[in-house]
Amino acid sequence: MRYYVTIRGATYAVDVEGGRVVADGTPLEAHLAAVPGTPLQHLLLAGDSWTVAAQPREGAVPFRLALGVVGERFEVEVVDERTRQIQALTGAPRGSAGGGTIRAPMPGLVVRVEVEAGQRVDAGAGLVVVEAMKMENELRAHRAGVVAAVHVAVGQAVDKGAPLVTVESPEPSG
């Protein structure tokens, strides 16, 4: 099956068939297995071993994941070929407009707050850093906007799903 994966603004065509993955024309052997008792996955990709924390973004259409790899956090969008074709035919936007509330991907400790209410941010700008399972996760803005509220402070413990920062559209829609 073909998927289109967008990471940091770049989109890649990825074909998945069993343990074989072809990413933008490059064949790779891939195996994914859950790490028992944790929210982690073990990924063996082209002979390299990675431990990945993957969390679906609730209510996100198209399907979005927050991935933590080697101490860095990435927002990843995944669209299957059929959905992509429907979007192209209907002119449907790729993602929802406006801002949103960035939530904690898992329980952790807020180690840095990089923004304040009223601050304008670009898509991908760092907002908050949460340490979870000895890994720092920098949570970034999904799109450009204005920080409407910062819901946490440095040193605060947060539960999974806790609101961290709310980013609103830079201009009202109308």
pTM tops 0.85: no
CA 25 → CA 13, 21, 145, distances in Å?
A: 8, 9, 35
pLDDT in tens, 72-89: 777 788 888 887 777 777
Contacts of 104 by beta carbon, 8 Å cutoff, 6+ apart: 130, 132, 158, 159, 160, 161, 162, 164
pLDDT in tens, 41-66: 888 888 888 888 776 665 555 566 76
* Domain span at 143: 100-168
Q: CB of 139 within 8 A of CB of 73? A: yes
CATH of the domain at 52: 3.30.700.30
Residues 73 and 123 in one domain: no
CATH of the domain at 122: 2.40.50.100
**How many folded domains does the chain comprise?**
2
pLDDT in tens, 144-171: 889 999 999 999 999 888 889 998 877 6
